[in-house]
Amino acid sequence: MNYLKLSKEISYALRHSPSEYGLELDDNGSVNLEELLIALKKKEEFKFLEAEDLVKMIETSDKKRHEIVNNKIRALYGHSISTKIQKDAIEPPQYLYHGTARRFIQSIKENGLLPQDRQYVHLSIDIETAIQVGKRRDKKPVILTVKAKLAWENGVGFYKGNDKVWLSDAIKSEYIEFP
Ligand code: HQG
């Protein structure tokens, strides 16, 4: 089983296009494991897929993108579907980080950090993680420091993705330190 390919397919289904797979996400973005299996097994490449493969996919992944709880699976972040995934707002650490491309900096200075195509802005717990995120778009990414606690105190929502990824509402540039 190609777990990377499987993970990409499941991220696509659970973050962006559940209806394409005949799936309906519940409020926190979960679907029954069995329903996801049935949907994926219709594809030639996944016809031998078993529940155990989904567990292995999560275990062997470089990032914790998905979670299985009580026979349900969900993506932990990254959603773009129109129905917003419900997340509990929680107090963030003092600083969070955001790795981005040099070409976006002027616009971020003017408009702040926006969710763009996703439901939430994605932030990193540390600089190292932010560098990895930013490198997806620029070989020399820019690392922004977000005054998360201050923004939270002023009413901006923050939410947990996984141990390294935080989510938030839009962040105005007054809460962002540019290098
Ligand atoms: C930028 C991956 C111009 C923002 C990663 C980013 C992450 C602006 C891009 C997760 C802007 C959106 C999410 C503004 C924000 N003007 N550009 N005002 N505000 N941007 O992919 O944070 O591997 O939606 O800086 O590791 O890069 O898929 O967000 O460059 O955790 O699991 O708009 O996706 O995880 O890009 O990445 P994205 P992101 P996975």
C-alpha R_g of the chain:
17
Cα–Cα distance, 161 to 21 (Å, whole number): 24
Cα–Cα distance, 124 to 159 (Å, whole number): 12
Q: Which of 104, 140, 167 to mutate to test the pocket of ligand 1 (most atoms within 8 A of CB)?
A: 104
What share of the chain in percent tops pLDDT 70?
100
pLDDT band of 106, cuts 50, 70, 90: very high
pLDDT in tens, 34-91: 999 999 999 999 999 999 999 999 999 999 999 999 999 999 999 999 999 999 999 9
Specify the ligand 1 atom closest to the Cα of 136. Answer: 27
Q: Is 141 in the pocket of ligand 1 (CB under 6 A)?
A: no
pLDDT in tens, 19-30: 999 999 999 999
Q: What is the pLDDT of residue 114?
A: 98
pLDDT in tens, 114-152: 999 999 999 999 999 999 999 999 999 999 999 999 999
Token pair in block for residue 172:
């105005």
Q: Is 106 in the pocket of ligand 1 (CB under 6 A)?
A: no
Q: Any idea what DSSP says for residue 45?
A: G
pLDDT band of 1, cuts 50, 70, 90: confident
Q: How far is the CA of 30 from the centre of ligand 1 (A)?
A: 23
Q: Is 154 in the pocket of ligand 1 (CB under 6 A)?
A: no
